Amino acid sequence: MAHGPGMVFHVVNLIVMVLMPMVVIHVKESGFSLIGSMYVCMLYAILFLKLWSYVQVNMWCRVSAKKSTSQTRMRRQSLSYNNLQASSVHQSSSELDEVWHDANGSSLLVQYPDNLHIGDLFYYILAPTLCYELNFPRTQRIRKRFLIKRIFEVFVGCQVVMSLCQQWMIPSVKNSLIPFTNMDVAKAAERLLKLAIPNHLMWLCFFYLSFHSALNLMGELLHFADRNFYCDWWNANNIDTFWRTWNMPVHRWAVR
């Protein structure tokens, strides 16, 4: 597909991906709970960020490949016979090096456009990162003890988050509806302040469940080696440092 129509198709696809969950949830409002709607919108937002990076990186590779091709053509027109012989000798030696690397079992780096296949796209969608790369860092094996720990943490973390939501937060929200209806500002403010502690605990549990347990679980299953999902945000001395360290995948996507 040509560059222009291809970019139009990608832009339309990304716009539809953002709007579709909101429209479906609005139309089928009775079929979605609050938690279910939140998870659907979160998944589509993650997929939007992933596909944006996928399109952007492949566009960079395509432009770079076109530039290198045009430069190679211009260079070939100005090559003398001796330079041509030297380049052919150099090329044959590099091919021998690649064969030697293959014989020793070391994998070669994937280059554009060899990365444009469905398997590479599916791996990137499942990988715990928002920034696409042609060659992700990979681990050699799956650590079974580490994997079992992360599975246990995901199971227990889901139960804790659901318990905090159902047993603490939802009753507090329901109790605050009556003061809001009666326009009792003091009573309503008191009920809302009671949500501060469970909301804080739920945020901490959800952070550990998502950024430490679930992402490390996916990374271990997929042999994904880049596990820098968060930094020491608890030591942040200002809001700018906090927002740059608590969610490293989104931060790297934004600065890229």
Residues 160-164: what's their mean pLDDT? 86
> By the 8 A CB rule, do 192 and 155 touch?
no
> By the 8 A CB rule, do 138 and 225 touch?
yes
The winner for highest mean pLDDT among 12-26, 68-82, 171-185, 212-226 is 212-226
Q: How many CB atoms lie within 10 A of CB 218?
A: 15
Q: How far is CA 103 from CA 137, 138, 141, in A?
A: 21, 20, 21
> Does pLDDT of 91 surpass 60?
no
| Sequence-separated (6 or more) residues with CB below 8 Å from residue 54 | 121, 124, 132
Residues 75-86: what's their mean pLDDT? 47
Q: Please, which residues bridge with residue 224 across strands?
A: 138
Residues 63-78: what's their mean pLDDT? 69
> Does pLDDT of 90 surpass 70?
no
28: confidence class by pLDDT, cuts 50, 70, 90: confident
